[in-house]
Amino acid sequence: MSLIVIGTLAYDDIETAHAARKGVLGGSATYCAVAASHFTKPRLVGVVGNDFQESDVKKLQASGVDTEGLEVADGKTFRWGGRYEEDWNTRHTTFTDLNVLEHFAPKVPAGQRDSKFVFLANAAPAVQLQALEQVEHPTFVMADTMNLWIDIAREDLTNLLRRVDAIVLNDEEARMLTGESNLIRAAGQVLGMGPKLVVLKKGEHGAFLMGSDVHFSLPAYPVENVVDPTGAGDSFAGGFMGYLTAQNSIDPAHLRKAMLHGTVTASFCVEDFGIGPLAERNADELAARYDDLLGIVTV
């Protein structure tokens, strides 16, 4: 089966309470695709500028990412800056230079329109819809979003929600979208907006999955040394979607296991800046951590 990941690639400047890095290869689609590459050969669709390093393309390819849908536009790659507070839970955006992203119109290569599993990484909902329309007969479409779009593009987002099978939200976004502070009730309301499944992420407190015939809750993997949480949510989505694609299934038993795989990829992601740990861990390391997590949650 085929997974297509459509979203952003970026160079990030990141500051934590302990360290800082500039020009780190990032972006929602990057993290998702590299995480998914442990399970399938994901098709990455996004735009970069002509300052994008050839070595970074090679890195993605070496991880098993199909970069045919990587468009190089005239201009600079999207750049984002973020700073984390000591507690990791508070993130400040220090700058956003959209650059080539400003006029991004995703183009799914002709040979990838048959993709069956689709992840629409965070982008303007109108852009996500535009991308989705290019996929012919998807089996399972999951979208991500952010508070900005809930705020300024709610109508587009409402349209998107009617077209996707699943939406991934963090706690803040779920509350903002529904006006409901209780996360279980918020997830229930989101299900009423269209998607059959909601994945609700709670950062260090884990995530839960809710649908009409499935309710599954999972703690985060207990990472002892968080270095940089950037990309954790997208890495989660990558492990989740990658596993489902490899299984070619969205039945509840596989959805539950997909939550564990997503938690594992997210846990590797936060152990260093950038995609390093996601790209470098091998199948044995993933399997060992999966077993460890399974041991922690098995009654």
Interatomic CA distance for residues 267 and 38, integer angstroms: 14
Pick 155 or 224: Cβ nearer a copy of itself: 224
Interatomic CA distance for residues 253 and 24, integer angstroms: 36
Please give the order of strands across the beta sheet that includes 140-144: 66-73, 43-49, 3-6, 117-120, 140-144, 166-170, 197-201, 207-211, 214-218
CA triplet 272, 275, 277: central angle to 5 degrees? 55
Pick 132 or 209: Cβ nearer a copy of itself: 209
Tokens standing for 73? 């536009």
Interatomic CA distance for residues 248 and 30, integer angstroms: 22
Pick 76 or 202: Cβ nearer a copy of itself: 202
Query: If we measure between CA atoms, which residue out of 210, 239, 279 comes closest to residue 65?
Result: 279
Exactly one of 109, 226, 248, 285 binds a copy of itself (CB under 8 A); which one?
226
Pick 62 or 296: Cβ nearer a copy of itself: 296
For residue 171, with 0-12 CB atoms within 10 Å meaning exposed, 13-18 middle and 19 or more buried, which class applies? Answer: middle
Pick 18 or 92: Cβ nearer a copy of itself: 18
Q: Segment near a copy of itself (CB under 8 A), from 50-58, 109-117, 127-135, 217-225? A: 217-225
Bridging pattern class, strands 43-49 and 66-73: parallel
Binding to a copy of itself, residues 240-259 (CB under 8 A): 256-257
Pick 152 or 288: Cβ nearer a copy of itself: 288
Q: Tell me the per-residue interface mask from 73 to 112 with a copy of itself, x by CB under 8 A, - otherwise.
A: -------------xx-------------------------
Site size toward a copy of itself (CB under 8 A) is: 30
Interatomic CA distance for residues 211 and 110, integer angstroms: 33
Q: At closest approach, how far in Å is the CB of 294 from a copy of itself?
A: 6
Q: Tell me the per-residue interface mask from 177 to 216 with a copy of itself, x by CB under 8 A, - otherwise.
A: ----xxxxx----------------x--xx-x------xx
Judged by the rule CB under 8 A, the positions of this chain that interact with a copy of itself are 86-87, 181-185, 202, 205-206, 208, 215-219, 222-226, 256-257, 260, 294-299
